[in-house]
Amino acid sequence: MIELLKSSRLILYYNGAISGLTLFVQHADESVCTPSPLPPLSSVLEEDDAPLNIGNTAPASIVSAISSAMALPANLLQANTGYREYVDTPDGIITVYLAHFNALDPPRQLMAEKGCKFRTLTELRNRPPAEMELLRRAYALIMES
Protein backbone atom coordinates (compact mmCIF):
# COMPACT_ATOMS: atom_id res chain seq x y z
CA MET A 1 0.00 0.00 0.00
CA ILE A 2 2.94 2.33 0.70
CA GLU A 3 4.07 2.04 -2.93
CA LEU A 4 0.57 2.90 -4.09
CA LEU A 5 0.63 6.14 -2.07
CA LYS A 6 4.00 7.17 -3.57
CA SER A 7 2.42 7.42 -7.01
CA SER A 8 -0.97 8.75 -5.87
CA ARG A 9 -2.36 11.82 -4.15
CA LEU A 10 -5.79 12.68 -2.83
CA ILE A 11 -7.51 16.05 -2.59
CA LEU A 12 -10.12 16.24 0.16
CA TYR A 13 -13.09 18.58 0.03
CA TYR A 14 -16.39 19.38 1.67
CA ASN A 15 -19.42 20.49 -0.34
CA GLY A 16 -22.51 21.72 1.49
CA ALA A 17 -25.62 20.09 0.06
CA ILE A 18 -27.82 23.06 0.89
CA SER A 19 -25.45 26.02 0.77
CA GLY A 20 -23.21 24.83 -2.04
CA LEU A 21 -20.19 25.93 0.02
CA THR A 22 -17.08 24.16 -1.24
CA LEU A 23 -14.04 23.89 1.02
CA PHE A 24 -10.76 22.12 0.36
CA VAL A 25 -8.50 20.67 3.03
CA GLN A 26 -5.11 22.31 3.38
CA HIS A 27 -2.63 20.19 5.32
CA ALA A 28 -0.02 21.35 7.82
CA ASP A 29 2.59 21.41 5.01
CA GLU A 30 0.23 23.88 3.22
CA SER A 31 -0.44 21.46 0.36
CA VAL A 32 -3.91 20.35 -0.67
CA CYS A 33 -2.50 16.97 -1.68
CA THR A 34 -2.25 14.09 0.74
CA PRO A 35 -0.26 12.10 1.83
CA SER A 36 2.42 14.52 0.62
CA PRO A 37 2.78 17.61 -1.58
CA LEU A 38 3.57 17.34 -5.25
CA PRO A 39 7.29 17.65 -6.01
CA PRO A 40 8.61 20.97 -7.36
CA LEU A 41 8.43 21.31 -11.16
CA SER A 42 5.24 19.22 -11.34
CA SER A 43 2.75 19.94 -14.12
CA VAL A 44 -0.76 18.65 -14.72
CA LEU A 45 -1.15 16.73 -17.94
CA GLU A 46 -3.92 17.47 -20.41
CA GLU A 47 -6.39 14.66 -21.08
CA ASP A 48 -4.83 13.96 -24.49
CA ASP A 49 -1.40 13.56 -22.86
CA ALA A 50 -2.53 11.15 -20.13
CA PRO A 51 -0.40 8.00 -20.12
CA LEU A 52 -2.04 4.84 -21.40
CA ASN A 53 0.23 2.47 -19.48
CA ILE A 54 -0.63 3.75 -15.98
CA GLY A 55 -2.44 1.17 -13.85
CA ASN A 56 -6.00 2.05 -13.00
CA THR A 57 -6.22 1.89 -9.23
CA ALA A 58 -9.74 2.10 -7.87
CA PRO A 59 -10.27 5.50 -6.22
CA ALA A 60 -11.89 3.76 -3.24
CA SER A 61 -8.56 1.99 -2.54
CA ILE A 62 -6.73 5.30 -2.31
CA VAL A 63 -9.47 6.83 -0.16
CA SER A 64 -9.37 3.84 2.18
CA ALA A 65 -5.57 3.99 2.46
CA ILE A 66 -5.59 7.73 3.19
CA SER A 67 -8.45 7.36 5.70
CA SER A 68 -6.45 4.73 7.55
CA ALA A 69 -3.22 6.73 7.40
CA MET A 70 -4.99 9.80 8.79
CA ALA A 71 -6.94 7.74 11.37
CA LEU A 72 -10.28 9.05 10.09
CA PRO A 73 -13.58 7.38 10.98
CA ALA A 74 -14.77 4.72 8.55
CA ASN A 75 -16.95 6.03 5.72
CA LEU A 76 -16.19 9.69 6.49
CA LEU A 77 -14.63 10.06 3.04
CA GLN A 78 -16.20 9.06 -0.24
CA ALA A 79 -14.34 8.91 -3.54
CA ASN A 80 -15.46 11.16 -6.37
CA THR A 81 -15.03 8.66 -9.20
CA GLY A 82 -15.40 11.31 -11.91
CA TYR A 83 -12.03 12.88 -11.07
CA ARG A 84 -8.68 11.38 -12.00
CA GLU A 85 -5.85 13.68 -13.04
CA TYR A 86 -2.28 12.88 -14.00
CA VAL A 87 0.67 15.00 -12.94
CA ASP A 88 4.09 14.82 -14.57
CA THR A 89 6.82 15.09 -11.93
CA PRO A 90 10.61 14.70 -12.05
CA ASP A 91 10.09 11.31 -10.37
CA GLY A 92 7.39 10.04 -12.73
CA ILE A 93 3.63 10.27 -13.19
CA ILE A 94 1.42 10.79 -10.13
CA THR A 95 -2.31 10.11 -10.25
CA VAL A 96 -4.48 12.52 -8.26
CA TYR A 97 -7.91 11.53 -6.95
CA LEU A 98 -10.68 13.45 -5.21
CA ALA A 99 -12.77 12.58 -2.14
CA HIS A 100 -15.46 14.44 -0.24
CA PHE A 101 -16.53 14.35 3.37
CA ASN A 102 -19.73 12.42 3.98
CA ALA A 103 -21.02 14.81 6.64
CA LEU A 104 -23.66 17.50 7.02
CA ASP A 105 -21.06 19.99 8.26
CA PRO A 106 -17.32 20.16 7.60
CA PRO A 107 -15.51 18.22 10.35
CA ARG A 108 -13.40 21.24 11.30
CA GLN A 109 -12.38 20.09 14.77
CA LEU A 110 -11.36 16.61 13.62
CA MET A 111 -9.24 17.99 10.79
CA ALA A 112 -7.76 20.73 13.02
CA GLU A 113 -6.54 17.96 15.34
CA LYS A 114 -4.65 16.60 12.34
CA GLY A 115 -3.11 19.99 11.53
CA CYS A 116 -5.48 20.66 8.63
CA LYS A 117 -7.72 23.59 7.77
CA PHE A 118 -10.70 23.97 5.47
CA ARG A 119 -10.10 26.66 2.84
CA THR A 120 -12.10 28.18 0.03
CA LEU A 121 -10.63 28.16 -3.44
CA THR A 122 -9.80 31.87 -3.22
CA GLU A 123 -7.93 31.34 0.06
CA LEU A 124 -5.71 28.83 -1.75
CA ARG A 125 -4.80 31.10 -4.66
CA ASN A 126 -1.10 31.25 -3.76
CA ARG A 127 -0.52 27.51 -4.15
CA PRO A 128 1.92 26.22 -6.80
CA PRO A 129 0.59 26.20 -10.39
CA ALA A 130 0.08 22.41 -10.53
CA GLU A 131 -2.02 22.45 -7.36
CA MET A 132 -4.04 25.41 -8.61
CA GLU A 133 -4.80 23.59 -11.87
CA LEU A 134 -5.87 20.46 -9.96
CA LEU A 135 -8.10 22.59 -7.73
CA ARG A 136 -9.59 24.38 -10.74
CA ARG A 137 -10.48 21.08 -12.38
CA ALA A 138 -11.85 19.68 -9.12
CA TYR A 139 -13.98 22.78 -8.52
CA ALA A 140 -15.39 22.64 -12.06
CA LEU A 141 -16.36 18.98 -11.59
CA ILE A 142 -17.92 19.65 -8.18
CA MET A 143 -19.98 22.54 -9.53
CA GLU A 144 -21.18 20.46 -12.48
CA SER A 145 -22.36 17.65 -10.18
Q: Could you give all domains of the chain from N- to C-terminal order, each with its CATH number?
A: 2-144 (3.90.79)
Rounded to an integer, the average pLDDT of 58-79 is 93
**pLDDT at residue 4 tops 80:** no
Going by pLDDT thresholds of 50, 70 and 90, the confidence category of residue 11 is very high
- 117-126: long-range contacts at Cβ-Cβ below 8 A with a sequence spacing of 24 or more? 117/25, 117/26, 118/14, 118/23, 118/24, 118/25, 118/26, 119/23, 119/24, 119/25, 119/26, 120/22, 120/23, 120/24, 121/22, 121/24, 124/24, 124/26, 124/32
Look at 28-32, 34-38, 55-59 and tell me which has the smallest mean pLDDT: 55-59
Mean pLDDT of the chain: 91
> What pLDDT is attached to residue 57?
81
> What pLDDT is attached to residue 145?
80
Rounded to an integer, the average pLDDT of 79-103 is 95
> What pLDDT is attached to residue 55?
63
**pLDDT at residue 5 tops 80:** no
Going by pLDDT thresholds of 50, 70 and 90, the confidence category of residue 3 is low
Answer with the residue of higher pLDDT: 9 or 6.
9
**pLDDT at residue 111 tops 90:** yes
